[in-house]
Amino acid sequence: MGDRSLFPSQVVVSDSFRDVSTVLDFMERRFPLTRRDFWENRMKQGLVFDNTGQPVAPDEPCTPGKRIFYFREVQQEIKVPFTEEILHHDDHLLVAFKPHFLPVTPSGRYVNHCLLNRLKTTTGNGQLTPIHRIDRETAGVVVFSVNPETRGLYQRLFMEGAMKKSYEAVTHSHGLFPEGPVTVENRIVKGEPFFRMKTEPGPPNARSLICCLKQGNGLALFRIEPETGKKHQIRIHLSGLGFGIVNDSFYPVLYPEQPPDFRNPLQLLARSIAFRDPLTQTVREFRCSAQLALASSF
């Protein structure tokens, strides 16, 4: 047995799986990298269940809207030796600082070493749900919903682009960046391999406001305010300008997969997030005090 998550993950059967007849067929197609007999054995052990907590059988009928819960398990979990920090906690929201290398939710070889499960353990609140995500390699502010009854109000802010986010990055510098803010917009879509993104011609769906704060010693410090939230948007936009983020193993060049180098984190930080609270109509801003390791190199 490997390392198993302390908290269940869930997946919802969408309309695109309408032709699937059983739960086992659904899990096999939903997770193509996991063998069918793995899911069959998990179900026989009672480790896959429905929203009532009842185990589901491999041949149980599967229809759109059905929620299926399971415990993620990996052979050997990567243990992240950095600590998160709770910046704010009230009846509706929890705001935390996420360190570099720690994923927001279980993924890949991370089950309990993710921000969500660490916070569930710390707070004892199994209802915690992230309102948004930042990359595993990125450090910074992440907002969680505490109360399911008000969760939709805050999720809608992100869907409508009503959250103002500010990032900082240290990049390689091969030339002078223009003075004043620069707006970058293009179309970002899924690339190859599956975890990488790319740009393509067409209507823009990603937009960032980028300002160079300092340059020197072959490096540059940027403030970035993304107006949209495409995966890897900031990394692609800075790389496309010729200012690739220090220690980025995806852009502009994809490097072979290596164990995480905890000494050299990606120099990207989600500094702050601000929004008008839908419950109180007051403007709220949450910031972290962390500094990028290379920000003092100028």
Q: Which of 14, 12, 15, 27 is nearest to 60 (CA)?
A: 27
pLDDT score recorded for residue 108: 86
Q: Measuring CA to CA, how many Å separate 209 from each of 126, 141, 242?
A: 37, 19, 16
Look up residue 117 and give its two tokens: 């499960």
Domain 3-74 in CATH 3.10.290.10? The answer is: yes
The pTM (predicted TM-score) of the whole model is 0.90
Delimit the domains of the chain by residue range.
Answer: 3-74, 85-296
pLDDT score recorded for residue 297: 82
Q: Report the 10 Å Cβ neighbour count for 224.
A: 22
Same fold: 3-74 with 85-296: no
Cα(155)–Cα(17) distance, rounded to whole angstroms? 25
pLDDT score recorded for residue 224: 98
- The one-letter code for the residue type at 70 is Y
Look up residue 10 and give its two tokens: 């869930």
- The one-letter code for the residue type at 161 is G
Q: Which of 144, 140, 142 is nearest to 290 (CA)?
A: 140
Pick the CATH number of 85-296 from 3.40.228.10, 3.30.2350.10, 3.40.50.300, 3.30.930.10: 3.30.2350.10
Cα(101)–Cα(263) distance, rounded to whole angstroms? 11
Contacts 24+ apart (CB under 8 A), 179-184: 179/212, 180/211, 181/209, 181/210, 181/211, 182/209, 182/210, 182/211, 182/241, 183/207, 183/208, 183/209, 183/210, 184/208, 184/210, 184/237, 184/240, 184/241
Torsional sign, CA 217, 251, 31, 261: negative
Upstream peptide bond of 203 is cis (omega within 30 degrees of 0): no
The number of CA neighbours under 13 Å toward the Cβ of 216 is 7
Which pLDDT tens digits describe the chain residue by residue (298 residues)? 568 899 999 999 999 999 999 999 999 999 998 899 999 999 999 999 999 999 999 999 999 999 999 998 888 999 999 999 999 999 999 999 999 999 999 988 899 999 999 999 999 999 999 999 999 999 999 999 999 999 999 999 999 999 999 999 999 998 889 888 999 999 999 999 989 999 999 999 999 999 999 999 999 999 999 999 999 999 999 999 999 999 999 999 999 999 999 999 999 999 999 999 999 999 999 999 999 999 888 8
pLDDT score recorded for residue 2: 66
The three-class DSSP label of residue 258 is coil
